[in-house]
Amino acid sequence: MDTKELLKKVRKIEIKTRRLSDHIFGGEYHSTFKGRGMTFSEVRQYQFGDDVRAIDWNVTARYNEPYVKVFEEERELTMMLMVDISGSEFFGTHQQFKKDIITEISATLAFSATQNNDKIGLILFSDKIELFIPPKKGKSHVLRIIRELLEFKPEGKGTDVAEALKFLSNVMKKKAIVFLLSDFISDNYEQTLKIVGKKHDVTGIRVYDEREENIPNLGMVQMEDAETGESILVNTQSRRVRQNYAKYYRERVDYFQDTFTKSGSGVLSCRVDDSYVKKLLSYFKRRG
Protein backbone atom coordinates (compact mmCIF):
# COMPACT_ATOMS: atom_id res chain seq x y z
CA MET A 1 0.00 0.00 0.00
CA ASP A 2 1.55 3.32 -1.05
CA THR A 3 1.51 6.43 1.15
CA LYS A 4 -1.32 8.13 -0.75
CA GLU A 5 -3.58 5.08 -0.53
CA LEU A 6 -2.73 4.59 3.15
CA LEU A 7 -3.59 8.21 4.01
CA LYS A 8 -6.85 7.86 2.09
CA LYS A 9 -7.78 4.76 4.09
CA VAL A 10 -6.81 6.41 7.39
CA ARG A 11 -8.96 9.43 6.52
CA LYS A 12 -11.92 7.22 5.59
CA ILE A 13 -11.75 5.34 8.89
CA GLU A 14 -11.24 8.59 10.82
CA ILE A 15 -14.36 10.19 9.33
CA LYS A 16 -16.54 7.14 10.02
CA THR A 17 -15.31 6.24 13.49
CA ARG A 18 -14.86 9.80 14.77
CA ARG A 19 -18.47 10.59 13.87
CA LEU A 20 -19.53 7.54 15.87
CA SER A 21 -17.43 8.51 18.89
CA ASP A 22 -18.59 12.15 18.76
CA HIS A 23 -22.30 11.43 18.46
CA ILE A 24 -22.76 8.06 20.09
CA PHE A 25 -19.88 6.54 22.04
CA GLY A 26 -18.14 9.50 23.66
CA GLY A 27 -20.82 10.00 26.32
CA GLU A 28 -21.41 6.28 26.80
CA TYR A 29 -17.67 5.69 27.21
CA HIS A 30 -17.47 8.50 29.78
CA SER A 31 -20.32 7.13 31.89
CA THR A 32 -19.09 3.52 31.62
CA PHE A 33 -15.46 4.09 32.58
CA LYS A 34 -15.22 6.33 35.61
CA GLY A 35 -12.21 8.34 36.72
CA ARG A 36 -10.15 7.62 39.80
CA GLY A 37 -12.34 9.72 42.09
CA MET A 38 -13.45 13.27 42.81
CA THR A 39 -11.08 16.18 43.13
CA PHE A 40 -11.75 19.67 44.52
CA SER A 41 -12.44 22.28 41.82
CA GLU A 42 -13.75 25.53 43.33
CA VAL A 43 -15.98 27.22 45.89
CA ARG A 44 -19.18 29.00 44.82
CA GLN A 45 -22.23 30.55 46.45
CA TYR A 46 -24.89 28.16 47.70
CA GLN A 47 -27.80 27.67 45.27
CA PHE A 48 -31.22 26.24 46.00
CA GLY A 49 -31.06 22.47 45.73
CA ASP A 50 -27.35 22.13 46.61
CA ASP A 51 -26.40 19.38 49.04
CA VAL A 52 -25.92 20.99 52.47
CA ARG A 53 -23.14 18.49 53.13
CA ALA A 54 -21.06 20.32 50.51
CA ILE A 55 -21.13 23.63 52.44
CA ASP A 56 -17.68 25.05 53.13
CA TRP A 57 -18.14 26.35 56.67
CA ASN A 58 -14.87 28.29 56.77
CA VAL A 59 -15.70 30.34 53.65
CA THR A 60 -19.34 30.66 54.77
CA ALA A 61 -18.21 32.15 58.11
CA ARG A 62 -15.79 34.54 56.38
CA TYR A 63 -18.38 36.02 53.98
CA ASN A 64 -21.41 35.57 56.23
CA GLU A 65 -23.35 33.76 53.50
CA PRO A 66 -23.37 30.07 52.47
CA TYR A 67 -20.75 28.74 50.03
CA VAL A 68 -20.35 25.17 48.76
CA LYS A 69 -17.37 23.15 47.57
CA VAL A 70 -17.52 21.96 43.96
CA PHE A 71 -15.83 18.69 43.01
CA GLU A 72 -15.01 17.30 39.58
CA GLU A 73 -14.34 13.75 38.50
CA GLU A 74 -10.60 13.09 38.22
CA ARG A 75 -10.85 11.71 34.68
CA GLU A 76 -7.44 10.90 33.40
CA LEU A 77 -7.54 7.25 32.40
CA THR A 78 -5.45 5.06 30.13
CA MET A 79 -6.91 2.81 27.44
CA MET A 80 -4.85 -0.04 26.01
CA LEU A 81 -5.89 -1.63 22.73
CA MET A 82 -4.55 -5.16 22.39
CA VAL A 83 -5.06 -6.32 18.82
CA ASP A 84 -4.52 -9.80 17.39
CA ILE A 85 -2.89 -9.51 13.94
CA SER A 86 -2.24 -13.23 13.40
CA GLY A 87 -2.93 -14.96 10.08
CA SER A 88 -6.53 -15.90 10.93
CA GLU A 89 -7.57 -12.23 11.10
CA PHE A 90 -7.18 -12.02 7.30
CA PHE A 91 -10.29 -14.10 6.79
CA GLY A 92 -13.75 -13.02 5.70
CA THR A 93 -16.46 -14.36 3.41
CA HIS A 94 -18.32 -11.06 3.17
CA GLN A 95 -16.97 -7.73 1.91
CA GLN A 96 -14.60 -7.28 4.87
CA PHE A 97 -11.93 -9.26 6.68
CA LYS A 98 -12.07 -9.69 10.45
CA LYS A 99 -9.04 -7.40 10.50
CA ASP A 100 -11.08 -4.56 8.91
CA ILE A 101 -13.79 -4.73 11.57
CA ILE A 102 -11.21 -4.94 14.36
CA THR A 103 -9.54 -1.79 12.96
CA GLU A 104 -12.84 0.12 12.89
CA ILE A 105 -13.78 -0.94 16.43
CA SER A 106 -10.31 0.01 17.69
CA ALA A 107 -10.51 3.43 16.02
CA THR A 108 -13.97 4.10 17.47
CA LEU A 109 -12.79 3.21 20.97
CA ALA A 110 -9.63 5.32 20.56
CA PHE A 111 -11.53 8.43 19.44
CA SER A 112 -14.03 7.94 22.30
CA ALA A 113 -11.11 7.89 24.75
CA THR A 114 -9.55 10.96 23.10
CA GLN A 115 -12.85 12.84 23.38
CA ASN A 116 -12.63 12.24 27.14
CA ASN A 117 -8.98 13.35 27.28
CA ASP A 118 -7.69 9.86 28.10
CA LYS A 119 -4.44 8.30 26.94
CA ILE A 120 -4.44 5.49 24.38
CA GLY A 121 -1.80 2.82 23.83
CA LEU A 122 -1.53 -0.10 21.41
CA ILE A 123 -0.19 -3.65 21.54
CA LEU A 124 -0.17 -5.63 18.29
CA PHE A 125 0.45 -9.34 18.80
CA SER A 126 0.52 -12.67 16.98
CA ASP A 127 2.38 -15.56 18.62
CA LYS A 128 4.72 -12.81 19.90
CA ILE A 129 4.60 -9.08 20.58
CA GLU A 130 4.79 -7.38 17.20
CA LEU A 131 4.48 -3.70 18.21
CA PHE A 132 4.01 -1.62 21.34
CA ILE A 133 2.98 2.04 21.22
CA PRO A 134 3.03 3.60 24.72
CA PRO A 135 -0.12 5.45 25.86
CA LYS A 136 -0.39 9.06 24.80
CA LYS A 137 -3.10 11.69 24.22
CA GLY A 138 -4.20 13.48 21.07
CA LYS A 139 -5.71 13.07 17.63
CA SER A 140 -2.34 12.70 15.85
CA HIS A 141 -1.51 9.81 18.19
CA VAL A 142 -4.83 8.07 17.35
CA LEU A 143 -4.15 8.52 13.62
CA ARG A 144 -0.76 6.85 14.09
CA ILE A 145 -2.49 3.92 15.78
CA ILE A 146 -4.93 3.63 12.86
CA ARG A 147 -2.03 3.70 10.37
CA GLU A 148 -0.31 0.85 12.20
CA LEU A 149 -3.54 -1.17 12.34
CA LEU A 150 -3.93 -0.76 8.59
CA GLU A 151 -0.37 -1.24 7.42
CA PHE A 152 1.65 -3.23 9.96
CA LYS A 153 2.98 -6.54 8.60
CA PRO A 154 3.40 -9.14 11.38
CA GLU A 155 6.35 -11.52 11.49
CA GLY A 156 4.40 -14.27 13.26
CA LYS A 157 1.24 -15.96 12.02
CA GLY A 158 0.09 -17.81 15.17
CA THR A 159 -1.82 -16.51 18.20
CA ASP A 160 -0.61 -16.35 21.80
CA VAL A 161 -3.09 -14.42 23.96
CA ALA A 162 -1.29 -15.37 27.18
CA GLU A 163 2.00 -13.88 25.95
CA ALA A 164 0.25 -10.63 25.04
CA LEU A 165 -1.37 -10.42 28.50
CA LYS A 166 1.98 -11.05 30.21
CA PHE A 167 3.52 -8.23 28.20
CA LEU A 168 0.67 -5.92 29.23
CA SER A 169 1.33 -6.70 32.90
CA ASN A 170 5.01 -5.85 32.48
CA VAL A 171 4.52 -2.50 30.74
CA MET A 172 1.37 -1.21 32.49
CA LYS A 173 1.98 -0.71 36.19
CA LYS A 174 -1.14 1.41 36.80
CA LYS A 175 -4.73 0.36 36.19
CA ALA A 176 -5.85 0.65 32.56
CA ILE A 177 -9.00 0.08 30.52
CA VAL A 178 -8.03 -2.82 28.26
CA PHE A 179 -9.80 -3.94 25.09
CA LEU A 180 -8.47 -7.24 23.74
CA LEU A 181 -9.62 -7.78 20.14
CA SER A 182 -9.19 -11.19 18.53
CA ASP A 183 -11.09 -14.14 17.04
CA PHE A 184 -9.90 -16.08 20.13
CA ILE A 185 -9.26 -19.32 18.23
CA SER A 186 -6.79 -19.96 21.01
CA ASP A 187 -6.62 -21.29 24.56
CA ASN A 188 -4.29 -21.61 27.58
CA TYR A 189 -4.69 -17.99 28.71
CA GLU A 190 -7.01 -18.56 31.68
CA GLN A 191 -4.42 -18.12 34.47
CA THR A 192 -2.78 -15.07 32.88
CA LEU A 193 -6.13 -13.36 32.34
CA LYS A 194 -7.12 -14.05 35.94
CA ILE A 195 -4.02 -12.16 37.14
CA VAL A 196 -4.42 -9.29 34.65
CA GLY A 197 -8.16 -8.98 35.42
CA LYS A 198 -7.44 -8.24 39.09
CA LYS A 199 -5.47 -5.13 38.17
CA HIS A 200 -7.01 -3.86 34.91
CA ASP A 201 -10.53 -3.35 33.55
CA VAL A 202 -10.45 -5.90 30.70
CA THR A 203 -12.96 -6.49 27.90
CA GLY A 204 -12.56 -9.25 25.32
CA ILE A 205 -14.05 -8.44 21.91
CA ARG A 206 -14.38 -11.54 19.74
CA VAL A 207 -14.69 -10.80 16.01
CA TYR A 208 -15.64 -13.77 13.84
CA ASP A 209 -17.06 -14.79 10.46
CA GLU A 210 -20.16 -16.97 10.10
CA ARG A 211 -18.25 -19.41 7.86
CA GLU A 212 -15.95 -20.22 10.78
CA GLU A 213 -18.79 -21.68 12.82
CA ASN A 214 -19.55 -24.58 10.46
CA ILE A 215 -17.94 -26.14 7.40
CA PRO A 216 -20.43 -26.27 4.49
CA ASN A 217 -20.84 -29.44 2.44
CA LEU A 218 -18.71 -28.64 -0.62
CA GLY A 219 -17.17 -32.04 -1.36
CA MET A 220 -13.37 -32.43 -1.40
CA VAL A 221 -11.78 -29.06 -0.62
CA GLN A 222 -8.13 -27.98 -0.32
CA MET A 223 -7.85 -25.95 2.90
CA GLU A 224 -4.93 -23.98 4.31
CA ASP A 225 -4.43 -23.06 7.95
CA ALA A 226 -3.84 -19.28 7.90
CA GLU A 227 -1.67 -19.47 11.04
CA THR A 228 0.48 -22.54 10.32
CA GLY A 229 0.45 -22.47 6.52
CA GLU A 230 -0.37 -26.20 6.50
CA SER A 231 -2.49 -27.29 3.53
CA ILE A 232 -4.71 -30.38 3.65
CA LEU A 233 -7.44 -31.97 1.56
CA VAL A 234 -10.72 -32.07 3.51
CA ASN A 235 -13.76 -34.16 2.67
CA THR A 236 -16.51 -31.73 3.66
CA GLN A 237 -19.13 -34.29 2.58
CA SER A 238 -18.23 -36.28 5.69
CA ARG A 239 -20.72 -35.62 8.45
CA ARG A 240 -18.14 -36.61 11.07
CA VAL A 241 -15.61 -34.09 9.71
CA ARG A 242 -18.20 -31.30 9.87
CA GLN A 243 -19.34 -32.29 13.37
CA ASN A 244 -15.77 -32.53 14.71
CA TYR A 245 -14.94 -29.11 13.34
CA ALA A 246 -18.13 -27.55 14.78
CA LYS A 247 -17.33 -29.13 18.16
CA TYR A 248 -13.76 -27.80 18.11
CA TYR A 249 -14.96 -24.30 17.20
CA ARG A 250 -17.67 -24.30 19.89
CA GLU A 251 -15.12 -25.37 22.50
CA ARG A 252 -12.91 -22.35 21.62
CA VAL A 253 -15.88 -19.97 21.88
CA ASP A 254 -17.03 -21.46 25.21
CA TYR A 255 -13.48 -21.25 26.56
CA PHE A 256 -13.33 -17.56 25.62
CA GLN A 257 -16.67 -16.73 27.24
CA ASP A 258 -16.11 -18.80 30.40
CA THR A 259 -12.53 -17.61 30.90
CA PHE A 260 -13.35 -13.91 30.58
CA THR A 261 -16.49 -14.19 32.72
CA LYS A 262 -14.70 -16.08 35.52
CA SER A 263 -11.91 -13.49 35.60
CA GLY A 264 -14.45 -10.68 36.04
CA SER A 265 -13.76 -9.30 32.56
CA GLY A 266 -16.25 -8.04 29.99
CA VAL A 267 -17.28 -10.17 27.01
CA LEU A 268 -18.47 -9.05 23.59
CA SER A 269 -18.86 -11.05 20.35
CA CYS A 270 -19.36 -9.43 16.96
CA ARG A 271 -19.80 -11.18 13.62
CA VAL A 272 -18.17 -9.51 10.61
CA ASP A 273 -21.56 -8.79 9.03
CA ASP A 274 -23.13 -7.60 12.32
CA SER A 275 -23.41 -3.94 13.34
CA TYR A 276 -20.54 -3.46 15.78
CA VAL A 277 -22.10 -0.06 16.59
CA LYS A 278 -25.17 -1.72 18.15
CA LYS A 279 -23.02 -4.33 19.90
CA LEU A 280 -20.70 -1.75 21.48
CA LEU A 281 -23.53 0.58 22.45
CA SER A 282 -25.45 -2.25 24.10
CA TYR A 283 -22.31 -3.31 25.98
CA PHE A 284 -21.63 0.24 27.25
CA LYS A 285 -25.24 0.66 28.37
CA ARG A 286 -25.16 -2.63 30.29
CA ARG A 287 -22.02 -1.55 32.09
CA GLY A 288 -22.91 2.11 32.60
Same domain, 58 and 115: no
Q: What is residue 210's predicted lDDT score, i.e. its pLDDT?
A: 83
Q: What is residue 123's predicted lDDT score, i.e. its pLDDT?
A: 97
CA 16 centroid distance within chain: 17
Same domain, 58 and 79: no
Same domain, 189 and 225: yes
Q: Say how far apart CA 173 and CA 164 lie, in whole Å.
A: 15
Mean pLDDT, consecutive 10-residue stretches, the chain (288 aa), reads 67 73 64 60 82 88 87 73 84 72 91 87 96 93 92 90 96 93 92 95 93 77 68 79 86 95 94 87 82
Q: What is residue 121's predicted lDDT score, i.e. its pLDDT?
A: 96
Q: What is residue 278's predicted lDDT score, i.e. its pLDDT?
A: 86
Q: What is residue 112's predicted lDDT score, i.e. its pLDDT?
A: 86
Residues contacting 13, CB < 8 A, separation 6+: 103, 104, 107, 146, 150
Contact yes or no for 73/110 (Cβ under 8 A): no
**Amino acid present at 76:** E
Same domain, 22 and 52: no
When divided into structural domains, the chain yields a total of 2
Same domain, 12 and 43: no
Same domain, 105 and 120: yes
Same domain, 44 and 117: no
Q: What is residue 182's predicted lDDT score, i.e. its pLDDT?
A: 95
Same domain, 79 and 151: yes
Q: Say how far apart CA 146 and CA 14 lie, in whole Å.
A: 8
What letter does residue 54 receive in the DSSP assignment?
A: G
Helices of type H across 172-223: 190-199
Q: What is residue 139's predicted lDDT score, i.e. its pLDDT?
A: 87
The boundaries of the domain holding residue 112 are 3-31+75-287
Quick one: which of 267, 268, 288 has its CA closest to 278? Answer: 268
Q: What is residue 26's predicted lDDT score, i.e. its pLDDT?
A: 59
